[in-house]
Amino acid sequence: MAAFHRPESRPAWQALARLAHAHPLRLESLLQDPKRCERLTFEAAGLTLDATCQRVDDRVMQALFELAHECQVMPQAQALFRGEPLNVTEHRAALHMALRAEPNSAAPWGPSISLAVQDQLKRFLAFAERVRAGAWRGHDGTPLTHVVNIGIGGSDLGPRMAAQALTSQGHGRGTRVQVHHVSNIDPVAIENLLANLPPRETGFIVQSKSFTTQETVSLSQTARHWLQAGGCPLEGMASHWVAVTARPDLALAQGLLPEQTFEFWDWVGGRYSVWSAIGLPLAIAIGAEAFHAFLAGARAMDGHFLQAPPEHNLPLIMALLGVWNGNFLGSTSLNVAPYAYGLSQFVPYLQQLEMESNGKRTHVDGSAVQVQTAPVVWGGLGADAQHAYFQLLHQGPQSVPVDFIGVRQTPCSGPHAQQQHQITLDNLRAQSRALALGRNEPDTRAALHAEGWSEAKVQALWAHRTYPGNRPSSTIWLEQLDPASLGALMALYEHKVFCQSVLWGINPFDQWGVELGKTLASQMARPSGSS
């Protein structure tokens, strides 16, 4: 490993600290620049990033790009794509990009990986089409019209989010098969789900990298007992089950059918796994053609990330803005507000991606981190969120950066759909502007007087109705929420997270905190029936 340099020791880091201290920026002034929108709007892979409401000027951006250069972010990105073992604590590569690469490309990771990926892709997509056509049959020959995905973490969040996003837009119509997801080990979750399903028509996908995940194993046992109680004999049980795992040997040893066992690999991290056979429930929900488009959108963002210069590189720019807000402007959290109903599950997915990846206190060389790393990611669906937590965003004592996500076109065609959609977009734009500009005392007093309040009442109210403003936000625009755009959006955040890990000098591909919790839970487990 090359000599490690702490991020705060970098000259550019120190320059940024000086700029943040001696050069306070006000958005109300910055936004008066007529060329600001042109300089801070970026496009790639069908997405647009509008960073005009970030508290940066040319000097700050120049220093941020210099930091990226000093930290060797893009050379590290090249190493990532070459398959070098950047996951230093587990001594392996992180090659999720290989899962969405062109089938016949001269990939840097070599032909053996490419062939294995394409083989599994063809297998699980062919199976997904069989399921959608009603050709997956249970023990008595009945077509299985309900598919329950059992998984937790990356085996649930990505496929669940993407399926909800794309089916909400009409993708995947033309099949009677319904896909359900269960992850939480609380028995209420699975019992409530199964209570409404017919056992003869229900199949299960069990997803676990190790095939030993405690939560997944427990839920699978519940499902097996339910199937048996519903009339499925033990000898016919395997027909109702699919396994997706990095340990197919363990699945086969438990009696699962080879033709219904799909593999992914130890170089695929859970939170990066939706592109693999872990995406089988998504493929069943939307179909093979749409799944290929989903991969293509992510692949387009991969190409942009590797090839675009830093000044136009969307993942790098988002990463740098996050470092500026967190490490130099003092923000400790990131709010994400999608203004698209289809993205209602995007925040939980992003929480794992960001916080499990970069919630680290140890540098890659084993030394203690002395700077803030991952922000606390939280949020919810706009415009609902405006009537929940936006009060804090506008008038709370802390400044919380926001990622707004907007979709310009709606698939809805009802008599008032376009009007409603326009109201949604107007609200997004208004929130970003309100956070940036706020409203000062003179303007507030004038507004209250215009409302007809007396001077005494104005004096009593004005402080409650002012807004500090100067609160940063970015807006990511999708033309429409389709498979390609969603794939590009997810890859954008994946690469952003990687860039930040390099800037902070941490490993984004392990999760030892999660492992400790699993270990302790196993140690605390009591025999059934004990108190």
* Secondary structure letter of residue 403 according to DSSP: E
21, 387, 416, 464: the catalytic one is 387
Residue 4 — left, alpha, or beta (φ > 0 → left; ψ -120 to 50 → alpha)?
beta
**Strand (E) or helix (H) holding 334:** strand 333-339
- As beta bridge partners, residue 417 has none
From residue 5, give the alpha-carbon distance in Å to each of 90, 152, 357, 467: 21, 36, 20, 41
Q: Closest Cα to residue 333, out of 307, 359, 308?
A: 359
5, 394, 449, 518: the catalytic one is 518
- As beta bridge partners, residue 335 has 378, 402
387 flagged as catalytic: yes
Residue 258's CB: how many other CB atoms inside 10 A?
Answer: 9
Handedness of CA 246, 248, 249, 253 (dihedral sign): positive
356, 421, 495, 496: the catalytic one is 356
DSSP notation for 92-137: B---GGGGGS-TTS--TT-HHHHHHHHHHHHHHHHHHHHHHTT--B
Nearest-angstrom CA–CA distance, 80 and 71:
15
* Residue 87 phi, psi (nearest 5): -80, 85
Nearest-angstrom CA–CA distance, 184 and 186:
6
Is the separation of the CB atoms in 481 and 406 below 8 Å? no
Nearest-angstrom CA–CA distance, 514 and 356:
8
> Virtual CA dihedral for 207, 209, 211, 212, nearest 10 degrees?
-120
259 flagged as catalytic: no
Residue 161 — left, alpha, or beta (φ > 0 → left; ψ -120 to 50 → alpha)?
alpha
- As beta bridge partners, residue 474 has 403
209 flagged as catalytic: no
Nearest-angstrom CA–CA distance, 505 and 495:
15
Q: Which two tokens stand for residue 493?
A: 């955040």
- As beta bridge partners, residue 271 has none
Q: Which two tokens stand for residue 457?
A: 């009442």
* Catalytic residue annotation: 356, 387, 518
